Amino acid sequence: MIKDHFVLSLAEIEPFVAELCRLSPDFAARWAENDVRGQHGEAVEHIRHPVLGPLAFEYSAFLVDGRTDLAMIVYNPARPEDTERIGSLLAIPPVESPLAT
């Protein structure tokens, strides 16, 4: 199976995690929390958008029938203010590419 080729040994993962911790204090803090969740279910995901800043999304993950290697994940803004801020992006006119003719 293809995903078997992507399994790394602990010896390969440890240096990678150490580098991520060194490069990102946010990653280091999250790694130290050791908050491990299953890949299916519901939770809240926090992201930092480059224009809008921090946003929270509720997500629900669903298994795809007949495909154990697939899951469908649906994200929704977690708070009304997240919905409003995301909607504000629709009011920003698109930037035209200098390559467009």
Residue 90, C-beta contacts closer than 8 angstroms, at least 6 positions apart: none
pTM equals 0.49
Query: What pLDDT is recorded for position 49?
Result: 93
Q: Which two tokens stand for residue 52?
A: 């809008």
Query: How far apart are alpha carbons 46 and 35 in whole angstroms?
Result: 14
Query: What pLDDT is recorded for position 100?
Result: 59
> Mean pLDDT of residues grouped by 10 in the chain (101 residues)?
52 85 90 64 88 92 81 90 90 72 56
Residue 77, C-beta contacts closer than 8 angstroms, at least 6 positions apart: 55, 56, 57, 58, 83, 86
